[in-house]
Amino acid sequence: MLVAIWYLAQAAIYLFAKRGLFWAILEEGNAVPVMKNGVFHKMILAYTGNHFARVLPDGAPEDIDNLNVYNIEVSPNAEATQTFESTMFNLVFPVKEVAWVGFPGICELGKKVSVKQEVCELTFTDSELVNKLPYNLKLRVVIQITNPAKALFRVDDYRKTSLDWLHDNLDMEFRSLSEDDFKEKKAGQASALADVFTRTLQTSVEELTHHYGVEVLKIEVAEIDPANEKLRTLTLEKTVAQMDAEANVLKAEGEAKIAKIKADAEAEVVKTLASAEAEAIKIVNKSAGKMNVKALRLKELHTIEHAGANVTIIGSNLSIPPVLTIPAQKGSSK
């Protein structure tokens, strides 16, 4: 009987919450303010694994609205809590994401706000870089509310305020950068753009998180483009000129290699010809030496012949019989 009454009560709470009476059903990842007689009374959070600080952080100054108690923190043992809720707690309290608001006419819900991460686009039109030329830039910015009370009640539009602050700060920083700084760097290379983003994230903690309850988690370049057609043409011409210069360098290197190979080949041919010519000269000189010896022997023979004596010559180096008798000339006195 008591169990039946308990579950009927749960069903009644759910019906009241659906109509926004006494209770409210919260969507996961949202925070909603409760207004009492038109004045902010408290915040309600539905964000699994997280909770409000409830107490001021150590050393934090007391402010008149005491909004620091609504800093979102990660719940201790969040996984164990979720496991418990998924078993016993859900059986006892089947109506989930329901929070007490108050009596109708006195308490009512305000504007809900998401406390999940948001990806926003930040656009820069005609932003001047270090070369004084205008560029259109698009950045992707990831932000997240860390204190919904501050985000809702300290500024009219937390998203616009955050993006405007980022735009103003980054626009000044970009004036010291060039187009090459926006190009992706290899691992291990220093990046001036990364330094700018790091400084901006650090500064945003004081300017945005502490004042407006908004944290900037990440900044990255989505697109960079010259701001006008003339500049696009100049950029294209510059790119083409760079490509032509690189092609000419490669061509010159290729021609130099070909010339070297050709010169080496010609030198080798000259060396081979010189060696062959020297060998030919050597052979000719050797043959000439042999011919001179034969010529001297023949001259000797002619001399003996004219001498008018009978001479017998025995030899094998001349083209004459081995034994040759040369008769004396008639009329000789010998």
Residue 124 lies inside a defined structural domain of this protein: yes
Find out whether 23 and 98 touch, Cβ atoms under 8 Å.
yes
Summary mean pLDDT of the chain: 75
Together in a domain, 152 and 216? yes
Together in a domain, 179 and 194? yes
Structural domain ending residue among the three candidates 174, 200, 227? 227
Residue 178 lies inside a defined structural domain of this protein: yes
Together in a domain, 97 and 132? no
208: helix, strand or coil: helix
Mean per-residue pLDDT, 46-58: 76
Provide the percentage of residues in the chain whose pLDDT is more than 70.
64
Give the model confidence (pLDDT) of 259-293 as tens digits: 888 888 888 877 887 787 777 777 766 766 666 66
Structural domain ending residue among the three candidates 210, 227, 244? 227
> What CATH code is carried by the domain that includes residue 132?
3.30.479.30
Mean per-residue pLDDT, 72-85: 62
**pLDDT band at 64; cut points 50, 70, 90:** very low
What number of other Cβ atoms are within 10 A of residue 163's Cβ?
Answer: 20
Element housing 327 (H / E):
none
Give the model confidence (pLDDT) of 311-321 as tens digits: 555 555 545 55
Out of 97-111, 156-170, 172-186, 289-303, which region has the weakest mean confidence (pLDDT)?
A: 289-303
What does the alpha-carbon distance between residue 98 and residue 23 come to, in Å, rounded to a whole number?
6
Cα dihedral value 150, 155, 156, 159, nearest 10 = -80
**pLDDT band at 143; cut points 50, 70, 90:** very high
Structural domain ending residue among the three candidates 170, 198, 227? 227
What does the alpha-carbon distance between residue 304 and residue 79 come to, in Å, rounded to a whole number?
134
What does the alpha-carbon distance between residue 319 and residue 300 come to, in Å, rounded to a whole number?
14
Residue 265 lies inside a defined structural domain of this protein: no
Residue 126 lies inside a defined structural domain of this protein: yes
In this structure, what token pair is assigned to residue 264? 């080496």
What does the alpha-carbon distance between residue 153 and residue 34 come to, in Å, rounded to a whole number?
12
| Residue 203 exposure: Cα atoms within 13 Å on the Cβ side | 13
Together in a domain, 129 and 100? no
In this structure, what token pair is assigned to residue 201? 């994230």
Residue 261 lies inside a defined structural domain of this protein: no
Question: How long a stretch of residues is the chain?
Answer: 334
Out of 43-52, 120-129, 199-208, 311-320, which region has the weakest mean confidence (pLDDT)?
A: 311-320
Out of 123-132, 236-245, 289-298, which region has the weakest mean confidence (pLDDT)?
A: 289-298
56: helix, strand or coil: coil
Between 217 and 182, the higher pLDDT residue = 217
Together in a domain, 99 and 138? no
What does the alpha-carbon distance between residue 119 and residue 200 come to, in Å, rounded to a whole number?
17
Over 90: is that where the pLDDT of 168 sits? Answer: yes
Find out whether 290 and 297 touch, Cβ atoms under 8 Å.
no
- Ordered alpha helix ranges (H), the chain: 2-18, 78-84, 90-92, 148-153, 158-174, 192-204, 210-212, 229-307
Together in a domain, 125 and 210? yes
Highest mean pLDDT, choosing among 295-299, 311-315, 325-329: 295-299
Between 183 and 104, the higher pLDDT residue = 104
Highest mean pLDDT, choosing among 3-12, 79-88, 105-114: 105-114
Together in a domain, 173 and 194? yes
Together in a domain, 98 and 150? no
Highest mean pLDDT, choosing among 188-197, 258-267, 307-316: 258-267
Q: Which domain holds residue 182?
A: 117-227
Residue 27 has a pLDDT of 81
The tally of domains found in the chain comes to 3
Residue 272 lies inside a defined structural domain of this protein: no
Residue 63 lies inside a defined structural domain of this protein: yes
Instruction: Name the residue with tokens 């000269």.
Output: 281
Between 19 and 197, the higher pLDDT residue = 197
Instruction: Name the residue with tokens 């209770």.
Output: 23
Together in a domain, 51 and 106? yes
**Measuring CA to CA, how many Å separate 201 from each of 122, 174, 190, 204?**
15, 15, 18, 5
Over 90: is that where the pLDDT of 147 sits? Answer: yes
